[in-house]
């Protein structure tokens, strides 16, 4: 019982019930006031009309005729007609009521009728000859109608209370059913089954369904990050093992063979190169971590994409000429700027160009261009005529330390495209790959400015 009372469904239902009761009371108060005002006005109008008819009788028949008429009406015992008095000579009242003057007008007073204090509305009329006519009615005659109104309001409140209790029970059962399924899923995830997801329905307007879909997206991201950490750890161990093993072998050989100084310094240089390779891996990972945390957003400025790409192409032209590769820049969009970190964008473009040159055979070509990807989207495209990538390889190209079969013999650690993808996401964009036939088309699309 205590759990039911403390339930959120019970609290919510009780709140709605209280709100309904408050709405009923607020509706009943002005309605009751309007009812009383209408009844009082109707009663006064009836009494005024009675007074006018009696005054007409007085005018036609005189005092004696009015006395006879009043006595006749009193003898009929008309329901609700409790006061009918002509001065002190005729009517059903022994004397003029205390507290009521004989001046013409209407009065509402509590007087004794049959020795019972009763609220009465009366109309006093002055007649010729010094006569005074008093006509009144008991205000409690319509009290049963008012009582029924309040009984109806109490019944409506009772119905609301019963409906609230039933609604609280049904809502609580529905919520507990959804929460139970969520708890089972969370328990499975806590036990290591990261592939479990919260159940969702078809309705997109259901709040719990929206929450479940949001949590599922978060769980997918967490699963991806967990698997990514595991893959990165394995890749780091694999990629660091080779240079460290080579470094140990060289140092061990130097220690055992004691070669001449020239050979020893050559081995030392090779060992330094292995250490530099290890340092470059860690520097790349640190840079990726810095980008993923969004630390570089504070340095965003408007960057001229044409100038940035032109400078990158100019820097790599000598390397392309050595490899007999045509490297060109095409401006296909006109003046275009983007808000971002200029150094990171330049590094991303450099990585794409370096990657394209690395896999393009001699005699091939690499083109860099800026394009308008949409009404408010900027794009940088690097296309080459190399072997390209399969669809499966394109799906995994941005994974850290991933290297395709064709890149096994080329220098690198598999972090270049990962860094480009991280830069694109930092700028609210996306890195996309497409088959160039032959070759690969890599495009960075992100929000741009005119």
Q: What angle do CA 162, 168, 174 make, to 5 degrees?
A: 140
- pLDDT per residue over 53-65, tens digit each? 888 887 787 777 8
pLDDT-derived band at 247 (thresholds 50, 70, 90) equals confident
The arrangement of strands across the sheet holding 430-435 comes to: 326-331, 365-374, 377-384, 440-447, 430-435
Domain boundaries, the chain: 2-146, 207-292, 298-447
What is residue 409's predicted lDDT score, i.e. its pLDDT? Answer: 47
3-state secondary structure the chain: CHHHHCCHHHHHHHHHHHHHHHHHHHHHHHHHHHHHHHHHHHHHHHHHHHHHHHHHHHHHHHHHHHHHHHHHHHHHCCCCCCEEEECCCEECCCCCCCCCCCCCEEEEEEEEECCEEEEEEEEEEEECCCEEEEEEEEHHHHHHHHHHHHHHHHHHHHHHHHHHHHHHHHHHHHHHHHHHHHHHHHHHHHCCCCCCCCCCCCCCCCHHHHHHHHHHHHHHHHHHHHHHHHHHHHHHHHHHHHHHHHHHHHHHHHHHHCCCHHHHHHHHHHHHHHHHHHHHHHHHHHHHHHHHCCHHHHHCEEEEHHHHHHHHHHHHHHHHHHCCCEEEEEECCCCCEEEECHHHHHHHHHHHHHHHHHHCCCCCEEEEEEEEEECCEEEEEEEECCCCCCHHHHHHCCCCCCCCHHHCCCCCCCCHHHHHHHHHHHCCCEEEEEECCCCEEEEEEEECEC
- pLDDT per residue over 20-68, tens digit each? 778 878 887 887 788 778 877 887 887 788 788 888 887 787 777 877 8
pLDDT for 379 beyond 70: yes
Average pLDDT over the chain, rounded to whole? 77
What is residue 34's predicted lDDT score, i.e. its pLDDT? Answer: 82
pTM: 0.47
Top pLDDT among 449 and 156 is at: 156
What is residue 248's predicted lDDT score, i.e. its pLDDT? Answer: 81
> Do 298-447 and 2-146 fall under one CATH topology?
no
Q: Which fold has domain 207-292?
A: Helix Hairpins (1.10.287)
- pLDDT per residue over 266-301, tens digit each? 878 877 877 777 777 676 666 666 666 555 566 678
What is residue 288's predicted lDDT score, i.e. its pLDDT? Answer: 63
How confident is the model over 416-433, as a mean pLDDT? 82
pLDDT for 159 beyond 80: yes
The region of weakest confidence among 104-113, 204-213, 404-413, 428-437 is 404-413
How confident is the model over 127-147, as a mean pLDDT? 77
- pLDDT per residue over 381-392, tens digit each? 898 888 888 888
How confident is the model over 175-194, as a mean pLDDT? 80
Assess contact for 446 and 340: CB atoms under 8 A.
yes
What is residue 293's predicted lDDT score, i.e. its pLDDT? Answer: 59
High-pLDDT (> 90) share of the chain, %: 0
The CA distance from 383 to 432, in Å, is: 12
Top pLDDT among 137 and 377 is at: 137
Q: Specify the CATH architecture of the domain 298-447.
A: 2-Layer Sandwich (3.30)
pLDDT for 212 beyond 70: yes
High-pLDDT (> 70) share of the chain, %: 77
What is residue 114's predicted lDDT score, i.e. its pLDDT? Answer: 66
What is residue 200's predicted lDDT score, i.e. its pLDDT? Answer: 78
How confident is the model over 150-175, as a mean pLDDT? 79
What is residue 262's predicted lDDT score, i.e. its pLDDT? Answer: 80
Backbone phi and psi for residue 185, each to the nearest 5 degrees, phi listed first: -65, -45
Top pLDDT among 10 and 153 is at: 153
The region of weakest confidence among 169-183, 349-363, 410-424 is 410-424
Q: Would you tell me which CATH number, out of the four given (2.60.40, 3.30.300, 3.30.1390, 3.30.450), belongs to the domain 2-146? A: 3.30.450
């Amino acid at each position: 019982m205590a759990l039911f009372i403390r339930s959120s469904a019970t609290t919510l239902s009780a709140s709605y019930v209280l709100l309904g009761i408050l709405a009923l009371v607020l509706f009943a108060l002005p309605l009751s006031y309007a009812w009383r005002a209408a009844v009082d006005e109707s009663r006064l109008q009836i009494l005024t009309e009675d007074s006018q008819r009696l005054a007409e009788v007085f005018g036609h028949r005189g005092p004696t005729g009015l006395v006879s008429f009043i006595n006749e009406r009193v003898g009929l015992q008309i329901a609700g007609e409790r006061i009918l008095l002509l001065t002190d000579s005729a009517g059903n009242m022994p004397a003029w009521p205390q507290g009521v003057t004989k001046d013409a007008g209407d009065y509402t007073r509590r007087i004794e009728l049959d020795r019972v204090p009763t609220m009465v509305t009366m109309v006093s009329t002055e007649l010729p000859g010094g006569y005074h006519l008093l006509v009144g009615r008991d205000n409690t005659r319509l009290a049963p109608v008012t009582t029924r109104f309040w009984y109806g309001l109490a019944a409506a409140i009772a119905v609301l209370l019963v409906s609230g209790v039933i609604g609280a029970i049904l809502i609580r059962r529905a919520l507990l059913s959804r929460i139970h399924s969520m708890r089972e899923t969370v328990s499975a995830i806590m036990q290591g089954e990261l592939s479990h997801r919260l159940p969702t329905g078809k309705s997109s307007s259901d709040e719990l369904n929206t929450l479940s879909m949001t949590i599922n997206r978060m769980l997918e991201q967490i699963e991806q990050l967990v698997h990514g950490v595991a893959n990165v750890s394995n890749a780091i161990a694999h990629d660091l093992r080779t240079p460290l093993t080579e470094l140990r072998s060289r140092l061990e050989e130097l220690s055992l063979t004691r070669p001449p100084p020239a050979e020893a310094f050559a081995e030392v240089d090779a060992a330094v190169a292995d250490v530099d390779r290890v340092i470059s891996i860690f520097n790349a990972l640190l840079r990726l971590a810095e980008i993923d945390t969004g630390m570089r957003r504070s340095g965003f400025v408007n960057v001229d994409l044409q100038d940035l790409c032109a400078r990158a192409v100019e820097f790599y032209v000598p390397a392309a000429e050595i490899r007999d590769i045509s490297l060109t820049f095409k401006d296909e969009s006109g003046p275009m700027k983007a808000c971002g970190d200029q150094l990171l964008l330049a590094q991303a473009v450099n990585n794409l160009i370096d990657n394209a040159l690395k896999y393009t055979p001699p005699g091939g070509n690499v083109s860099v261009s800026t394009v308008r990807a949409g009404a408010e989207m900027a794009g940088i495209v690097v296309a080459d005529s190399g072997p390209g990538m399969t669809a499966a390889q394109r799906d995994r190209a941005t994974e850290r330390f991933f290297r395709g079969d064709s890149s096994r013999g080329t220098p690198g650690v598999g972090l270049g495209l990962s860094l480009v993808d991280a830069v694109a996401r930092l700028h609210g964009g996306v890195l996309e790959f497409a088959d160039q036939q032959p070759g690969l088309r890599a495009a960075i699309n992100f929000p741009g400015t005119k």
